[in-house]
Amino acid sequence: MPERGATTDGDRTLFRSGFACIVGRPNVGKSTLLNAMVGRKIAITSDHPQTTRHVIRGVVHRPEAQLVVVDTPGLHKPRTALGARLNELARATLAEVDVVVFCIPADQKIGPGDRFLADELRRAKTPVVAVVTKTDRVSKVRIAEQLLAVADLGEWAEIVPVSAVADYQVDLLTDLLVARLPEGRPYFPDGTLTDEPEQVLVAELIREAALAHLRDELPHSLAVVVEEMRPRRDDLIDIQAILYVERASQKGIVIGVGGERLREVGSRARRQIEALLGSHVYLDLRVKVAQDWQQDPTQLHRLGVSSL
């Protein structure tokens, strides 16, 4: 009997492979959903909008299918060159995938941002599965109300309530996406969870730790670059990374009194990095100023916010 999501052609089982893109306005649970579908943390999460700054690909393996899930920055009204670049990344991805996952949170009323995205998706002409996220935060009555509101937004291929945190209907969503993939060979070797380089994943984990400690003080003004990453011995990896801010006054905010805040960021990041790499880590963090980097295309590229 074929796996869920697979089809048969006489005696032959068809292998399906393709791409699904997760879209939604900022902070609707896109990265959390990607991590739940892949089964491992490959995208950082935060309550701050615009946490995701580049396209992240996670790979879901099934015996009869391979689904590559693409997490995009949230579409929004840009105020900086960084914001415009994030929108470009999100829009470019829509044209390259087989199915789109449109995330709308259950705990927020549908607003102008959701309607804007619904119009964008209607023009893209790619099949769209609408997903009501964060269902663990609200009552069943509220979920039902949001499902009806989402249905009024447009004509969707499916509408599915999920909770990535509670692992509610994540497998069902994967089944529905796999069923819409074309026949084809796998794009990645078995066991591959992402095509992100380890240095990029490490930099993102450091930024996630910094966002958690800085809260609302300068989330959009922070970028992280891993300068060096090399083994010192079999069970220890040396990592040197730089946290970039836009102004000299922000440098002190990141470092904290007597360096306390930077040490807290390093401690939190080190635990996550060691879990990712499966090795002890010596983490050396430094803070530098890159003046107004969010408005400078050259610096955006240097700091890792580049095109597809």
Supply the pLDDT for residue 11.
Answer: 47
Residues 30 and 118 in one domain: yes
Q: Which of 149, 178, 207 is the last residue of a domain?
A: 178
Residues 155 and 287 in one domain: no
C-alpha dist (Å) from residue 250 to 47, 246, 247, 253: 20, 7, 5, 5
Residues 35 and 173 in one domain: yes
Contact 181, 6 (CB under 8 A): no
Containing structural domain, residue 236: 198-302
Q: How many structural domains does the chain have?
A: 2
Average pLDDT over residues 239-261: 90
Q: Does 305 have pLDDT greater than 90?
A: no
Classify residue 147: in a domain, yes or no: yes
Name which residue leads in pLDDT, 195 or 49. 195
Residues 82 and 131 in one domain: yes
Q: Does 248 have pLDDT greater than 90?
A: no
91 pLDDT band (50/70/90 cuts)? low
94 pLDDT band (50/70/90 cuts)? confident
Supply the pLDDT for residue 1.
Answer: 32
Residues 71 and 168 in one domain: yes
Name which residue leads in pLDDT, 188 or 222. 188
d(CA 171, CA 295): 40
Residues 159 and 234 in one domain: no
CATH, residue 160: 3.40.50.300
Contact 73, 84 (CB under 8 A): no
260-277 helix and 198-214 helix, angle to the nearest 10 degrees: 140
- pLDDT tens digits for 218-241? 656 788 889 999 998 888 999 999
Classify residue 192: in a domain, yes or no: no
CATH, residue 204: 3.30.300.20
d(CA 37, CA 168): 11
Residue type at 259 in one-letter notation:
G
Most confident of 36-50, 133-147, 254-268: 133-147
Residue type at 104 in one-letter notation:
I
Supply the pLDDT for residue 160.
Answer: 98
Classify residue 183: in a domain, yes or no: no
- pLDDT tens digits for 50-70? 445 567 889 999 999 999 998
Contact 83, 102 (CB under 8 A): no
Q: What is the mean pLDDT of the chain?
A: 84
- pLDDT tens digits for 1-32? 334 444 555 545 789 999 999 998 878 888 89
Residues 210 and 164 in one domain: no
266 pLDDT band (50/70/90 cuts)? very high
d(CA 291, CA 271): 30
Supply the pLDDT for residue 108.
Answer: 95
Whole-number percent of the chain with pLDDT over 70: 78
208 pLDDT band (50/70/90 cuts)? confident
Q: Does 110 have pLDDT greater than 90?
A: yes
* Residue found under tokens 């095109």: 307
Classify residue 184: in a domain, yes or no: no
pTM flag (> 0.75): no
DSSP characters over 139-176: -HHHHHHHHHHHHHH---SEEEE-BTTTTBSHHHHHHH
Classify residue 286: in a domain, yes or no: yes
Residues 202 and 173 in one domain: no
- pLDDT tens digits for 134-187? 999 999 999 999 999 999 999 999 999 999 999 999 999 999 999 999 999 999
- How far is residue 226 CA from its own chain's centroid? 19
Classify residue 133: in a domain, yes or no: yes
d(CA 251, CA 287): 6
Q: Does 40 have pLDDT greater than 90?
A: no
